[in-house]
Structure 1
Amino acid sequence: MKTLLSAAVAAAAMMTVMGAAPAMADERICRGTLGGGTVDDVKVPAGATCRMDGTRVKGNIKVERGATLVATRVVVIGNVQAEGHKAVTIQRGARIGGDVQTKQGGATSVSASVIDGNIQLEQNRTGAQRVIDNRVNGDVQAFSNRGGVRIVDNRIDGNLQCKSNSPAPTGGNNTVQGNKEDQCRRL
């Protein structure tokens, strides 16, 4: 028993010293078009444009600086995250299992889709931010955007929160289970 325990401790120590790498999902780089089919994580590299139609993503989509994503009828198990993006469009029956997060970039449009997490639009400097005709199981948050925000015809299970956007958000006809707050209290 003592020998078996010593061997197990030695094996664990050897793996620590050798730096056993964790298993990672394959990341698909998207420049151009991805049709139907299933992929793991997707990265839209800086400056690229990725069009997805009917694609199933088992992980996350990451949109890098200056990149554009147009996602139609996609199913994403994880999140859609963009920072410094040119444009992000999620539309026509897309289903996102996590959050949609865009920050410090350009235009964002989420329409006619189901978002199981939150929609977070933060400090986007150029281009309109549009959230239209969606089912959102979390919150919709728009903070410090400068290109205009329009939020209309959504069903939101959480809160609708807007603060420090210029101009102030427009829209209406949103069904919100939580609170409508600050600049969005009348939407």
Structure 2
Amino acid sequence: MRMLKAELRKKYMQKRKALSSDEAFLLSKRIFNNFIHYFKPVKGQKVHVFIPIEKFNEIDTKIFINYFLDQNIRVFVPKVVDELISVEIFPGTEFETSNWGISEPVSTIDSGETQFDYVITPLLYCDPNGNRVGYGKGFYDGFFQSISPSSKKIGVNYFNPDEYIDDVWENDIPLDYLVTFTEVLSFFKGEE
């Protein structure tokens, strides 16, 4: 079945809102466990990971962030300053809530980092080809263009990819992997 991004955005926003906070947390923990088991991140690696928008019931990536910091894995988070920049965080980093209700570091200093081991990416939906539906702002497509092609782009989602996105655009950059609470799917094409 094929659907337009706008239809998928609406459908999966509603499905996500229907989850209780307990369900969302339990599924987030299972997604985290699948990520750790599959990718086995180690000390010194660099991970860019989004901070969840709680009102949108996003995957609880604070579980990921706490684990990475405990394991001395370098953590970078997004901050929107006209465009999406990448700010490195540490256990004592100070945060503030943006106009969009997103927790972001107070710092506006872009790390300049472009070589990440993993980029854990927010989404509402991902199709069987790795094409993602976000909130429609295009921040991550721009961010993906600015980082090394070897950085693994990994979506995390409560839902499996069933429908295909009918209106994939030329500038859309697909994910390399999708981690759900049941499995890890690879869309990785490798070196061309």
TM-score by length of 2: 0.23
When Rg is computed on C-alpha atoms for both structures, the one with the higher figure is 1
TM-score by length of 1: 0.23
More helix by share: 2
Compare relative contact order (CA 8 Å, sep 6+) and give the higher one, 1 or 2. 2
